[in-house]
A and B are shown apart, each in its own frame.
Chain A
Amino acid sequence: MLRYTARRLLAAIPVLFVVSLVSFAIIALVPGDIASEMAGPSATAEELARLRAELGLDKPILERMVEWYGALLRGDLGQSVLLRRSVTEAILERLPVTLGLTVLALAVAIVLGVLAGMVAAVRPNTWTDQGVMALALVGLSLPDFWLGLVFIWLFAIELGWLPTGGYVPFTEDPLGWLRAMAMPAGALALTQMGLLARMTRASMLEVLRQDYVRTARAKGLPGWVVVGRHAWANVLVPVITVAGVSVGILLGGAVVIEQVFSLPGVGRLIIGAIQRRDYPVIQGGLLLTATIFVLVNLVVDLLYAAVDPRVRYGR
């Protein structure tokens, strides 16, 4: 297992290299730069040229790329032009917000999605099944940013239960953190909840038709033991696969949701950097997102072995 993990981590290096290379090239080819943004509309061409030189934007793209990779090998993601501070610091400061949001949304999506899928599967073709699946389809079809705005209207303005936005660190006030995160995490989770419910239902129905389940029932085991102990374990593999993909989707969705709920996360940092062409922050943010995605995929693969004894790595 250790050898497999090490091999997968090594294999991630070229993936991350390609991600950084492509993002660097695309960003460098897009017209406009931070000098234009900083100088304002009335700046002369000479003022712009001077500012570009000060910021090192007049250097050839290859030279800038070599400098960036050189610093990266030393663990340095560079300096944000706009924030005037280290990109690593800026990202690490905002990472707990985005990770907290993603993890909470994933937890809600998995718990409620899987539960809904199982309820639908044990009562196939009934009103319960059709009702749950219809709700799952609605959840899948609604855009998260729209849901976010509806949640603000309902839970903040009409009911006054939750704040409209903003962030409270978990370490300062855990309840305040939960109140601040409830709506954004809920809006993010609903789409994935629908996906997980449908996937769980389909997998569970297939498993419930297996011979070993029939045998368990024939032995006289109660229904909840058949489902909860014998069938459930075999449903886990596809659920883990979907949950792994969901992490990537949730991270992407967090970018928009952070804007709607004014959460100071990595997504909002990247959006701001794109709008202002703050290249080091864009590069660092994209590299971080890709790294998280690669690591999550690795964890998913390792979890396969944990839940399914037939899967063994490193042999």
Chain B
Amino acid sequence: MRLARFDDYTQNTNFQARDGFGGRKTAYFDTVTIRFVPEAGARTAGLQTGELHVLEALAVPAARRLREDRNIRIYEMMPWAFQTLMLNHAQGPTANLAFRRALQAALDMEEIMAISTDGLFRLTHGWQHPGTTYFAGDVGKELYNLKDANRARALLRETNYRNEEFIILTDSSFSNHKAAGEVAAEQLKAVGINVRLNVVDWPTAFNQRTRREGWHMWVLMFGIEPYEGPFNVVGFLSGERPIQHVPDPVIEDANRRLNTSLAEADRKQAVADFQRRMYDQAIAIKCGDVGIVQATRANIVNYKPYRIPRMWDCWFA
């Protein structure tokens, strides 16, 4: 795909420089060619040989290897997405609050994130990113990353868990999903849960999760940057058919207040209430934040990493 500069473009002079996807944009390149290179190794090779100037995503191990290469500039972007474990409240053991709390207690997020992201992660409990408008501070933090096997086993005894099958649904289309599912499965087996890991492709996993049966935990990574804020996250877990399949009244109320309150303070409170409920009722489990590595040839000047590469306001040296 080749994009040519639109010479009649009028800059937004209300800004000093680029701002997100908007702002004051200057196109220095005559054309930008977008090449779809599905194989990660071939992408890296293309950057090394200079055939490609910018990579939207570079594998973390390759980034470590190329860090000393003077012809390449590496840009780590954090955060890029959430890593989460969605739970099905409609049936099976996850319909039971104590069982969901046992899951919450058993998991070691550092291990899950380190393995599933090749080390590019951040341990954060927030259902919004730190530093953003709706970040709810320490709400729920005391229930994040407990990695307490004894507490998990005690909660399992409380639920009278009788070795029912617990299905983790994940996909091989996104390597993070598969690895996070595998690590979580091993950790849950270690506390005595009869886990079956169901690895399918993305469209199959996506379709399966819309059903009330056939899964209990679904591994999902999703990004909210740079524009969605809390609306997507809270909306995803509320409404007539929330991801957990059973609407929660407190989250419904938080979603309503988030979408109708005129005062920012009220909307922030709604998000804080949502986050408190997420941890208190173990509605779904947040593992951490995932980063991404972007890279350019060294002769690309003034490139700033972003969720999707922006090819304006940068130029050849």
Give residues in A with beta carbon < 8 Å to B.
30-34, 36-37, 41-42, 44-46, 48, 149, 152-153, 156-157, 160, 163-166, 259-262, 268, 275-277
Contact = CB atoms under 8 A, between A and B. Distances in A.
A262 B36 contact: yes
A166 B43 CA distance: 11
A44 B42 contact: no
A48 B210 contact: yes
B210 A157 contact: no
A31 B204 contact: yes
A37 B205 CA distance: 11
A152 B207 contact: no
Interface in B1-56: 35-39, 41-42, 45-46, 48-49, 51
Interface residues of B, number: 31
A42 B203 contact: no
Contacts of A164: 42, 45-46, 49, 51
Nearest to A47: B241
Contacts of A149: 39, 41-42
Given A44-B239, A259-B38, A32 B45 contact: no
B203 A41 contact: no
Nearest to A37: B203
Nearest to B220: A41
18 contacts: A31-B200, A32-B202, A32-B203, A36-B210, A41-B206, A42-B222, A45-B210, A46-B240, A149-B39, A157-B49, A164-B49, A165-B42, A165-B46, A165-B51, A260-B41, A261-B42, A262-B36, A268-B38
Given A42-B232, A262-B42, A276-B203, 15 more contacts: A31-B207, A32-B204, A32-B207, A36-B203, A36-B210, A44-B241, A45-B240, A46-B240, A149-B39, A149-B41, A152-B41, A152-B45, A160-B49, A163-B51, A262-B35
A157 B48 contact: yes
A260 B232 CA distance: 35
Contacts of A277: 203
B206 A262 contact: no
A53 to B, nearest CB: 16
Contacts of A165: 37, 39, 42, 45-46, 51
B173 interface: yes
B201 interface: yes
B86 to A, nearest CB: 9
A27 to B, nearest CB: 11
Contacts of A152: 41-42, 45
Contacts of A156: 45, 49
* Pairs of residues from A and B, 5 with the lowest C-beta to C-beta distance, nearest first: A32-B203, A32-B207, A164-B45, A45-B241, A262-B37
B82 to A, nearest CB: 11
A41 B45 CA distance: 32
Nearest to A167: B35
Nearest to A259: B38
B305 interface: no
Nearest to A258: B38
B62 to A, nearest CB: 12
A19 B206 CA distance: 28
B295 to A, nearest CB: 15
Nearest to B42: A165
Contact of A166 (B35, B38, B235): B35
B220 to A, nearest CB: 7
B45 A275 contact: no
Nearest to B41: A149
A275 B36 CA distance: 15
Instruction: Name the residue among B48, B206, B210, B239 with the largest chain A CB count within 10 angstroms.
Output: B206
B208 interface: yes
B236 interface: yes
Nearest to B173: A275
Contacts of A262: 35-39, 42
B45 A36 contact: no
B206 A36 contact: yes
A42 B42 contact: no
B42 to A, nearest CB: 5
Nearest to B240: A44
Greatest chain A CB density within 10 A among B200, B202, B205, B222 is at: B202
B159 to A, nearest CB: 29
Contacts of B222: 41-42
Contact of B207 (A33, A42, A160, A276): A33
Contacts of B232: 42
